[in-house]
Amino acid sequence: MQLPDFPSGDGVFKLNSIILPENLGTSVDSAGHFVPMTPEVPAADRRGLSELTVEDLTGPVVFIDISARVEAELKKNNGSPGPPAVTNFGEASPNVVTAADIDAIADRLANRSFVIAHTGWSRFWGMSGPGFEGPYVNGFNFPGFSRAAIARLIEIETARNIRINGVGADNIAADVGENANAPKFGPGAFPIHARGLQRGWKLLENLATTAELGRGRCTLYVGALNHVGGVASWARGVRQLRELIVQGHWLLEAPSQPFSPAAPVVSVERLPPERR
């Protein structure tokens, strides 16, 4: 949006303003993003982005890969997302993150872990709209964390007296799409938001290049805007191994590579010896 010119003795300064939503592209939700009607925990977390610490945004990655199951389901429709009767990514289907998937990685869960699901869905980024249609949102029929998976994570946290840093996935909400209860978005919708954020989880949405996180044990660093009053922000996730940093993001360009929102960028930086 163009602003009034700022005059000086030798000319004028041209000024513009940019207004963008907090949840744009790869983004992170803080606890303040969702206020439950009936909190499940005492002293539910309500912090916004400016109140988060480095420890809140840094932690070991616990990786879950369901992309093979998702791909097998998509093959029923020639590799493309379809309605639930054709490609089923509902709560009860095996093509989502299940409680069994959480049990399989339970021994790796610890304080400050980030549980990241790789579904392979990010390749449909840029194919959304109009409204809730298009392959990416697909009428809210997409894979993610099921209610049972979230319940199992909470059970493990409670039993071990730990608190993970959050969850994330390469889709629009990290939840199973069916759980949005679209278009009414009634009780029980978005269970990660409703149950996880009040516990202090951070929610990473629209992640890219999540397959890279499966290459080895690593630490995730989440970069976000530190704006007062903000409850969500565009984010940049960085995975650190011993010698490599792999960055997955939507908004930045790789050197000599044109920007394409349908093709997530992966850039690799070798750390000099003094930074290893």
Contact 246, 271 (CB under 8 A): no
Two structure tokens written together for 125 = 């980024």
Does 15 fall in a domain?
Answer: no
pLDDT of 56 = 94
For residue 73, the enclosing domain spans 24-275
Residue that the structure tokens 């697909």 belong to: 138
Does 19 fall in a domain?
Answer: no
- CATH classification at residue 93: 3.50.30.50
Residue that the structure tokens 């290049």 belong to: 209
Question: What is the spatial distance between Cα 123 and Cα 264, in angstroms, rounded to a whole number?
Answer: 8
Does 5 fall in a domain?
Answer: no
**Residue 203: strand pairing partners:** 29, 167
pLDDT of 157 = 97
Question: What is the spatial distance between Cα 93 and Cα 85, in angstroms, rounded to a whole number?
Answer: 12
Provide the H-helix boundaries in 75-222.
99-104, 147-160, 191
Does 7 fall in a domain?
Answer: no
Show Cβ contacts of residue 14 under 8 Å, excluding neighbours closer than 6 positions: 2, 5
Reported as a single tens digit per residue, the pLDDT across 242-273 is: 433 334 333 322 333 332 333 333 332 333 34
Tally of domains in the chain: 1
pLDDT of 248 = 38
Does 212 fall in a domain?
Answer: yes
Helices (H) and strands (E) in the chain, counts: 4, 11
The HSE-up count of residue 223 (CA atoms within 13 Å, CB side) is 8
Does 8 fall in a domain?
Answer: no
Question: What is the spatial distance between Cα 220 and Cα 230, in angstroms, rounded to a whole number?
Answer: 22
Does 6 fall in a domain?
Answer: no
Residue 141, helix vs strand vs coil: coil
Contact 91, 146 (CB under 8 A): yes
Across the 276 residues of the chain, what is the mean pLDDT of every consecutive 10-residue run?
92 90 86 92 92 93 97 97 95 96 97 96 85 88 96 97 96 91 86 94 92 86 86 76 39 30 33 38
Contact 198, 36 (CB under 8 A): yes
Does 12 fall in a domain?
Answer: no
